[in-house]
C-alpha cells in the first residue's frame, strides 16, 4: 500500500462526494499518492463537477487530475484508464445489482475484479476504518509459490491499512471438513487438519509478527467463513485474493471473491498473484 504512487478513483456523477473518494483521501493523506478522478460516461458532460472536486482537493493539499472517458463497457473503461495512468490501485464504490440482473448478466464489478491488472478496492459502507478491524483472508491449504506470494501480499496490505487507520489486523484461513475415507489420517480429524494448517502458518506469523490471538483457522468453505468472520468482528475492510477464474467454470461455480463481495458488510480489497496481473496487463496492451 505504501508503494502505491497513483490511485484511480471512479466517481459516480450522482454521488460526487462518494465513499470511494473518502477512502482515496484517507490513503493518499498517509501515502502521498496522486489521485486520478475518473467519470465513466459517454456524454462527457461532467466537467464542471470534476473541476469543483479537483479545486477542493488541491486546496486540501492533494495531488489530483481528472478525466471523463468511455470505452465499450464500464470495467473496460476503468482498466484502460488505469493502465494509461499507471495507477497501482483502483477504488470504486460498489452498488449491488438485483438477484435477477445478476442471474442474467455478469455484474460490472465482478468483471472489474476478474480483469483489472491492479488491486481493486470496492467500497460498500461508510463505516470508519480508523480504530476498526481489518480482516485478511488467506488460503493456507495452497502452498505453491504463487499462493505463498499472494498470502504475503494480502497480509502485507492488511498491515499497511491497519497502520494507516490505527486498526487491528486479524487473519483467517478456512480448512476443509474431515473425511473419514481419506488415505491420509491427518485429514480424518478436525483437530489434526487444524494443527497442520497452523503449522503452515508459522512462517508468515514469524515474518509479520502475528500472534495466535489474531490468527483464526476454522473449518468450512471460505465463501461462508469469511463473511461470518467479517460480521463477527465488524470488519471495516476485508482483504481477499483471487485467481480470477473466467469462462464456463467461473460462470457456473463463481469466484470466492465475487461471492464474498456480495455477502460481507465491509469494504473489500481484492488482490491477485503477480503473474496473473502481468498476464492481464499483456492482454490489455
Domains of the chain: 6-93 (3.40.50.620), 133-284 (3.40.50.12370)
To the nearest whole number, what is the mean pLDDT of the chain? 83
pLDDT at 241 over 90: no
Between 9 and 142, the higher pLDDT residue: 9
**What is d(CA 81, CA 219) in angstroms, rounded to the nearest whole number?**
41
Strand, coil or helix: 257: helix
Between 248 and 36, the higher pLDDT residue: 36
Average pLDDT, integer, range 261-277: 84
**What is d(CA 261, CA 122) in angstroms, rounded to the nearest whole number?**
8
pLDDT at 211 over 70: yes
Task: Choose among 72, 133, 125: nearest CA to 94.
Answer: 125
Task: Choose among 166, 157, 170: nearest CA to 205.
Answer: 170
**What is d(CA 93, CA 211) in angstroms, rounded to the nearest whole number?**
33
Average pLDDT, integer, range 32-57: 92
**Strand pairing category for 89-93 and 237-241:** unpaired
**What is d(CA 146, CA 275) in angstroms, rounded to the nearest whole number?**
8
Tell me the pTM: 0.86
How crowded is residue 218: how many other Cβ atoms within 10 Å of its Cβ? 17
pLDDT for position 66: 97
pLDDT for position 130: 93
Amino acid at each position: 500500500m505504501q508503494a502505491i504512487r497513483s490511485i484511480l478513483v471512479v466517481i459516480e456523477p450522482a454521488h460526487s462526494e462518494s465513499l470511494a473518494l473518502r477512502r482515496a483521501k484517507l490513503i493518499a493523506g498517509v501515502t502521498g499518492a496522486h489521485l486520478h478522478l475518473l467519470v465513466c460516461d459517454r456524454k462527457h458532460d461532467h466537467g464542471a463537477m470534476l473541476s469543483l472536486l479537483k479545486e477542493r482537493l488541491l486546496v486540501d493539499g492533494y495531488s489530483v487530475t481528472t478525466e471523463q472517458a468511455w470505452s465499450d463497457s464500464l470495467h473496460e473503461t476503468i482498466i484502460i484508464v488505469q493502465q494509461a495512468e499507471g495507477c497501482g490501485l483502483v477504488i470504486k464504490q460498489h452498488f449491488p445489482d438485483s438477484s435477477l440482473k445478476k442471474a442474467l448478466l455478469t455484474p460490472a464489478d465482478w468483471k472489474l475484479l476478474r480483469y483489472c491488472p491492479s488491486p481493486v478496492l470496492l467500497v460498500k459502507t461508510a463505516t470508519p476504518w480508523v480504530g476498526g478491524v481489518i480482516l485478511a483472508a488467506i488460503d493456507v491449504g495452497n502452498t505453491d509459490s504463487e499462493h505463498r506470494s499472494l498470502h504475503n501480499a494480502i497480509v502485507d496490505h492488511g498491515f499497511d491499512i491497519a497502520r494507516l487507520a490505527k486498526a487491528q489486523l486479524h487473519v483467517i484461513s478456512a480448512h476443509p471438513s474431515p473425511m473419514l475415507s481419506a488415505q491420509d489420517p491427518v485429514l480424518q480429524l478436525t483437530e489434526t487438519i487444524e494443527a497442520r494448517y497452523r503449522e503452515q502458518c508459522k512462517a508468515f506469523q514469524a515474518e509479520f509478527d502475528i500472534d495466535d490471538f489474531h490468527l483464526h483457522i476454522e473449518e468450512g468453505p471460505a465463501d461462508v467463513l469469511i463473511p461470518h468472520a467479517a460480521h463477527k468482528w465488524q470488519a471495516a475492510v476485508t482483504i481477499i485474493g483471487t485467481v480470477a477464474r473466467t469462462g464456463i467454470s467461473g460462470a457456473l461455480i463463481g469466484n470466492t471473491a465475487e461471492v464474498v463481495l456480495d455477502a460481507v458488510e465491509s469494504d473489500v480489497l481484492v488482490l491477485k498473484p503477480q503473474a496473473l496481473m502481468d498476464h492481464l496487463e499483456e492482454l490489455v496492451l
